Amino acid sequence: MTNPVETRTTRKRQSILAAATELFLQRGFLATNMDEVAAIASVSKQTVYTHFGTKEALFLEIVTGMTGEAGDELEGQVADPVDGRPIEDFLLEFAEQQLAIVMTPRLMQLRRLVIGEAERFPELGKRLHAKGPGRSIGRLTKAFAHYSESGDVEAEDQRAAASFFNWLVMGEPVNDAMLLGDRAIPDADALRSHARESVRIFLAAYGRRP
């Protein structure tokens, strides 16, 4: 049976996280205060501190949660390669899904926020990298080990190849959105076209030789 106390506690925690996420994304770290978080979440300020301890801890929880959710979604959408699956198919699906999941206004806002607070909270950048690009590069490294055995990828350093592919896919769209704002996020057709070209370029450099 569900414990009513645990259910209420979980509900309050989720309300606090939702309220704080919106305030941090809209205003940044310094301009957000815990009184407003408590008011929007319909809990007491003491409840906020009971759950998270400090404003800094709440901020770190949100960064970790949002980037982790994006990584979980990508992992759920794109399975690791299996024998017989063409590398072009795997890379194209990976690139398309990665772009579709990451290139959203909320995640770009989060990224700008983390960069703006990186000096104040060095741990932020580490968490964003580990849960975001680091996780993708790790998955690609394993995939390239699989495709190296079949001769579909020729790379002495599979992690370096994974990093090159990851940033070939993500570099330009992310950089444009970071510098030019959410309006610079390409539409779905443009992202798919970019994914196809990224796969073509990567395989021209690392794919099976004739």
Give Cα separations from 192 to 34, 93, 184 (angstroms). Answer: 41, 10, 15
| Residue appearing with tokens 């020729």 | 154
Pair (110, 187) in one structural domain: yes
Domain CATH number, residue 123:
1.10.357.10
Who has greater pLDDT, 207 or 7? 207
Q: Where are the alpha helices (DSSP H) in 78-209?
A: 87-102, 105-116, 122-131, 133-149, 158-180, 188-206
Give the per-residue pLDDT at 126: 83
Residue 94 pLDDT level (bands cut at 50, 70, 90): very high
Pair (73, 170) in one structural domain: yes
Give the per-residue pLDDT at 157: 96
Give Cα separations from 103 to 73, 106, 116, 195 (angstroms). Answer: 13, 9, 19, 12
Pair (36, 130) in one structural domain: no
Give the per-residue pLDDT at 170: 96
What percent of the chain stands above pLDDT 70?
97
Give the per-residue pLDDT at 82: 82
Q: 2 pLDDT exceeds 80?
A: no
d(C-alpha 36, C-alpha 20), whole Å: 9
What percent of the chain stands above pLDDT 90?
69
Range of the domain at 39: 1-53
Pair (80, 43) in one structural domain: no
Pair (108, 164) in one structural domain: yes
Pair (25, 129) in one structural domain: no
Pair (92, 141) in one structural domain: yes
Give the per-residue pLDDT at 117: 85
C-beta of residue 81 within 8 angstroms of C-beta of residue 146: yes
Pair (120, 48) in one structural domain: no
Count CB atoms within 10 A of the CB of residue 183: 8
Q: 45 pLDDT exceeds 90?
A: yes
Q: 7 pLDDT exceeds 90?
A: no
Who has greater pLDDT, 125 or 44? 44
Q: What are phi and psi of 32, to 5 degrees?
A: -95, 130
Q: 1 pLDDT exceeds 90?
A: no
Give the per-residue pLDDT at 179: 92
Mean pLDDT on 195-200: 98
Number of domains in the chain: 2
Give the per-residue pLDDT at 6: 65
Pair (99, 153) in one structural domain: yes
Pair (198, 154) in one structural domain: yes
Give the per-residue pLDDT at 13: 93
The pTM of the full predicted model, rounded to 2 decimals, is 0.88
Q: 121 pLDDT exceeds 90?
A: no
Mean pLDDT on 121-132: 82
